[in-house]
Chain A
Amino acid sequence: MKRFLHYLTIAGVAALPSAGYPGNTAEPAPGDAVAVTRRITEGQYRNIIADVFGTDITVGGRFEPDIRDQGLLGIGTSRVSISETGFEQYRDLALTVAAQVTDAQHRGSLIPCTPGSPKAWDDACATKFIQGAGRLLYRRPLDQAELATLVGIAQKSATQLNDFYAGVEVSLASMLVSPQFLFRKEAAVADPAHPGRARLDAYSRAARLSFFLWNTAPDNMLLTAAENGSLNTTAGLSKQVDRMIGSGRMSGGVRAFFADMLGFDEFSTLAKDPAIYPKYSFKAAMDVQEQTLRTITDHLLAQRGDYRDLFTTRKTFLTRSLGALYGVAVVDDVANGLPARWVPYEYAEGDPRAGILTHASFVSLHSHPGRSSPTLRGKAFRETFLCQRVPDPPVNVDFTVVQNTDNPIFKTARERLTAHRTSPTCAGCHKITDPIGLALENFDSAGGYRTLENGAPIDTSGELNGKPFADSVGLGRAIRDNPEAPNCLVTRIYSYAAGQTTKNGKDWIAYLQAGFAADGYRVPALMRRIAVSDAFYSVADTPVEETEQ
């Protein structure tokens, strides 16, 4: 029987040594990492329901919004609880899912037994279903008390309603609104190999691994590896990691990370003026995200490409509607009435669109509803790809000159921003954002291409850390060759996976960065290096007395 350790989650209680973590001789400790409790995201909720009950179970309704912390929702999920309204939303979702799972259409395939009578209580059948579903939803086996409670709920409802399936439905809904499902609570145990240290227990290890690589809960094989202890061994862990990285589901994990890092959740509140940008429809806003995520997963996973080349690649995927937005020919020979297909597309050498910075997902997300914004784009560039912090503007800034796109004197954004920067309070930040953002001025607020603004030619020259460039392609090359870009990615991806930034973890990050470079900046290799490390599962919490058996 496994006994779970009561643990502390106070950062810095017991900092691990900063070099030479004993579990892996090449690997330093990750600093003061802690076990965290994270609310599952909307995407994870949907993935889990699809994995456990199938993709034809509809998950309709709204979710409590996530918050972004230190650049990532993946960290913000450890800073949120559930409001009263949010609980009602989760309850409605749970009731809807449970009703579908137990309805006449699905019960035959989703409930692994048939009761003696659909109108009568069947303890064995209900227990079997609740045990099986509960293990996958709670990401560990239910303990005896939990099982007894859930079976009791089902029995009471089934008896009162004279309906076995109604009882199971209530019990399943109870699981789906429970904190054990909605929150990923990591548990730490004493590390028997390293007295005085702690590590995540096997189920927490499995969950951290699965949400990192697949953005969903552990599957049966991973849970089994946690149950039989093999996940705590170097060989067992490697076997599971390699299985998961080799799976087609890896793209789900990569997509989730990059969607988080790129701030795609902000598309839900993005608006464009349809009178100015008629091509930027709701569908286009969806498609621009998918374009970038397809480009990323194809380049990183299918092509095994260098992360840095995402900033220069001319290869992408487009739909007919995106072709219209970009003004390029996209031939889709799918029959009308069927979903639009994604067509591989490669821009010609010398085309201004190269790299994900020139995708509409980036330039439209970091623009205003009716005009582009070199400042927002430059700020997003530095914060997203270089992990730099650009201060917010002072509250008393006069934006009049910048916002007046009809100014007959300052026709281009460059001219308006030059005038705006005459204020010393503005100049500091604009100096680090605008030279980058102005390089993307050939792309309007919706991502459409232009060479003129108000009849005046657009100057896209700029510089990054003193390195000059002529245009968006040059900017892509500049960041491609900037060592801080892959270093930033390492920091981001570890923080996303662990749900926290590192404290006192310079050596750990440096180790990962060096490994990333040695691996040719291959992201799957970086993810593997993190996933198989002892340090990834090491926590600074002080174990009290109990150990995992």
Chain B
Amino acid sequence: MAFRAKTTLSVLSTLAVATMGFAAPASALQTKSYVVSFFHIATHSDTDACPHGLNPEHVELWTRSLKGLGYSQKDIDELLISQRKNGKTIQEIVRDRGLKPGQENIFAYPFSAPDPNLHTVEGRYSYGFNLDGKTDGGFEDPDTHEQGVDNNLYKAFGCLRPYHVSLPDRPQYENNAWLVLASAMPAWLLSVSGDDLTKDGPVTVTIARALEHTMQDARGQTLADSTFRIDPNPRSHNVMRGALKGGTLSIEPTDIFLEAEPHIISKLHLLQAHLRLTPKPDGNLEGYIGGYTPWFEEYWAHASNGFDAEESGIDMPGLYYALQRLADDPVDPKTGERNFISATWRIELVPAIVADPHNALAELRR
């Protein structure tokens, strides 16, 4: 299905009479804009994904950790019932299970706890993109069947219980976080501009942060067709070359940076970003965005929620070690560390009106 374009002229003629005084368009480009309505780690959890089983639920994880601290099974059972022991809440006891003096808080100092060696994904499929050009050793995308897909973020998360799901189900932890917090963060916008958005060809894609938040419709979902202004701060303003082919939108690999909501993802920072979006019959877009992302940001997006994240079934030290182990971008010559991990997120968007998408085009031309 082709993009149904609203011409730039029609958008701006509407704006011009809205007493807001927007500038006239530089050309007769067609522009279609969207706002992100859902965003979460892309998961595809078939039966082969975790051959060693799923990682344990939180009670088992805590039991294992607390035994390492010298708690008896009886002590642990009492703690789980009473939620307190020796003047400390269970939250404090779980939090302070780090072994290094002064670094007991395992959310802030995950390396202070032993590595539980969480199970990671070993299956064949994962949504994503071949980032390094190699076709051996990676996943196969279940939609495009591209080989060599690099998505070690999914590999780290996919055997955690809240992430062992496939569409149409969403990872429970991120689903809840998005539903609660997305309307409280400045929205993420995407605009596509081109000579004719109904045909294959080159386009310009803008991904930017808005000044406004999203609103909800009568179903509790993101309200479509509401108006947003692009945050003038260039830090979260990304303009890139893209293409439409067979209705699918993609971009030339580039870097993307977007500030976000800390408890969802503190920032979306991608190196070699890839994008694949397809229009739906209702005019919405859905697809995937991926690239190399700082793995510690992903850790902190979950660890900053502390006890809630662990209670949902994510062993935070275990996640920290898994992400560190699976980091797969080139080694930083200065530190000798790998700071980025290949990643792909599911992204869904609904139509929106962006007040000034052409500022972005002007920036690209400069």
Query: Which residues of A are interface residues toward B (Cβ below 8 A)?
Result: 272, 274-275, 277-282, 284, 320-321, 323-325, 327-333, 336, 343-348
Contact = CB atoms under 8 A, between A and B. Distances in A.
A425 to B, nearest CB: 37
A275 B217 CA distance: 10
A345 B223 contact: no
Contact of B13 (A277, A281, A327, A348): A348
Contact of A279 (B18, B186, B225): B225
B14 A348 contact: yes
B226 A324 contact: yes
Contacts of B18: 328-331, 343, 345-346
A131 B306 CA distance: 61
Contacts of B217: 274, 278-279, 281
5 contacts: A272-B218, A278-B224, A279-B218, A323-B226, A330-B227
Q: Main SS of chain B's interface residues?
A: loop
Given A321-B223, A324-B226, A327-B225, A277 B218 contact: yes
Nearest to A272: B218
A278 B222 CA distance: 10
Contact of A336 (B15, B19, B212): B212
B221 A278 contact: yes
Nearest to A343: B18
A438 B202 CA distance: 43
A17 B53 CA distance: 96
A278 B219 contact: yes
Interface string B210-242: 011101111101011111010000000000000
B355 interface: yes
Contacts of A332: 212, 227
Contact of A320 (B15, B216, B227): B227
Which bucket holds chain B's interface residue count? Answer: 20 to 34
B17 A348 contact: yes
Given A320-B226, A324-B224, A281 B14 contact: no
A128 B229 CA distance: 57
Nearest to A335: B211
A347 B17 CA distance: 7
A327 B18 CA distance: 13
A348 B19 CA distance: 11
Q: Which of A272, A279, A345 has the most CB of B within 10 A?
A: A279
Contacts of A330: 18, 226-227
A284 B19 CA distance: 22
Q: Which of A328, A331, A344, A345 has the most CB of B within 10 A?
A: A331
Contacts of B215: 320-321, 324
Given A278-B218, A282-B218, A320-B212, A329 B223 contact: no
Contacts of A333: 211, 229
Contacts of A328: 14, 18, 353
**Pairs A-B, 5 closest by C-beta atoms:** A274-B218, A324-B226, A278-B217, A281-B218, A324-B225
Nearest to A328: B14
Contacts of A275: 219
Nearest to A327: B225
B353 A336 contact: no
B323 to A, nearest CB: 32
A333 B355 CA distance: 12
B66 interface: no
A284 B225 CA distance: 14
A330 B19 CA distance: 10
B154 to A, nearest CB: 31
Q: Which of A324, A327, A332 has the most CB of B within 10 A?
A: A324
Q: Which of B13, B186, B216, B353 has the most CB of A within 10 A?
A: B353
B127 to A, nearest CB: 27
